[in-house]
Structure 1
Amino acid sequence: MAEAEIRRQIDRIIEGLAAKDLEGLRRVYAPDVVSFDVEPPLQHVGVQAKLRNWERAFAFFESLRYEVRDLTLTVAGDIAFGHAFARLGGTPKHGPATSGMWVRVTYCFRKIDDAWLIAHDHVSVPLDMPGGQGVVDLEP
C-alpha cells in the first residue's frame, strides 16, 4: 500500500508539471525538503526554493512534460527511497520542442501526517572526467 501511495505522488509530479500547477506540486514536498537539483546552487532548502526551480521551468517552457522510467522503491516504516531515470522536455517559449535529457534521480520520502512527502531529491548527470562536462546524451 505504501509503495502505491508513493508512486501516486510521483504521478502527481508528472501531472503538476504538465498543468504548471505549483500548488499541486507543493503538496508533494515536505516543507523542509532539501533538493540537490541540476541547477545552481548546490542545494535548495525548503519547499519555496524547490518551487522556484519549477517556476523557472514554467517560465522557460510553453508546455512541458516529465517522464519517469524504471522507478524502484524501498519502504521501511515511515521512510522510503527510490531511484529512477527522468527527463523534462517540452516546447520552449522561444524555440523548437525538445525531448529533454535523461537524468538520474533519487527520491527520499517521509510519511508526515499520513502523507508520503519528498524530504530530499537528488538529480544528476554523469560526468565526463577528462572533459569536465556533464554527459547529457545518454539514454536508459
Structure 2
Amino acid sequence: MPTPCEADEDRIRRQIDKIAEGLRDKDLEGLERLYTTDVVSFDVEPPLQHVGVAAKARNWADVFAFFETVTYEVRDLVLVVGGDVAFGHAFARLSGTLRNGTATSGMWVRITYGLRKIDGAWLIAHDQVSVPLDIASGTGVTDLEP
C-alpha cells in the first residue's frame, strides 16, 4: 500500500499528464481546472509573468491558434511532496502540426512546477518554463535535448 506521500505524488503525476491530454484534445476548460485561480506563470513568451488562470488559459489558447494538432511530452519529472505543497521539475516539449500543415518537433524546455493541495486536489500554483541562455550572443539555446 502506498504511503500518503506516494499517493499524493501519483495524483500530481496524473495532474501533469492531464496537461498533455488537454492540449491534445484542445480542451481549454479542462486545462484551466489544473491551475489555481491565482496561478503565476513565467512562460517563455512575454510578458515576464502571466498572473491568474485566465492569463494562463490565453497562453494555451495561443497554442491552439498556431497548431492543428498538439503533442506535449513531459520527461524526467522529479517531485517533492510535503503536506499541502509540492514542487517538481522536468523537461517538456510541445510539438505537432502547425495550421499551415508544417510538422514541427518543437524544442525541449526546462519546467518547474509549484503545486498546492486545495480541497484534496493538487493544483498548479506556479510554473516556470525556460531555455538556457547563450550569454555571448544573448539568445536562447533551443536545440538541446535531455
Q: Tell me whether 1:6 sits opposite 2:7 in the alignment.
A: no
Runs of 4+ aligned structure 1 residues displaced above 6 Å come to none
Q: Tell me whether 1:129 sits opposite 2:135 in the alignment.
A: yes
Cα offset, 1:95, TM superposition: 4.3
Taking structure 1 as the reference length, the TM-score comes to 0.99
Cα deviation, 1:51-107, whole Å, max 9, x if unaligned, reads 000000000000011000000000010000000000000000024101100000000
- Specify which of 6, 12, 15 is matched with residue 21 of structure 2: 15
Cα offset, 1:46, TM superposition: 0.2
Equivalence for 1:34: 40
Amino acid at match of 2:15: Q
Q: Tell me whether 1:73 sits opposite 2:40 in the alignment.
A: no
Amino acid at match of 2:80: T
Cα offset, 1:138, TM superposition: 0.1
Equivalence for 2:50: 44
Over the matched positions of the two proteins, sequence identity in percent amounts to 72
Structure 1, unaligned runs of 5 or more: none
Equivalence for 2:109: 103
Aligned residues: 140
Could you tell me how far apart the structure 1 residues matched to 2:113 and 2:66 are? 24
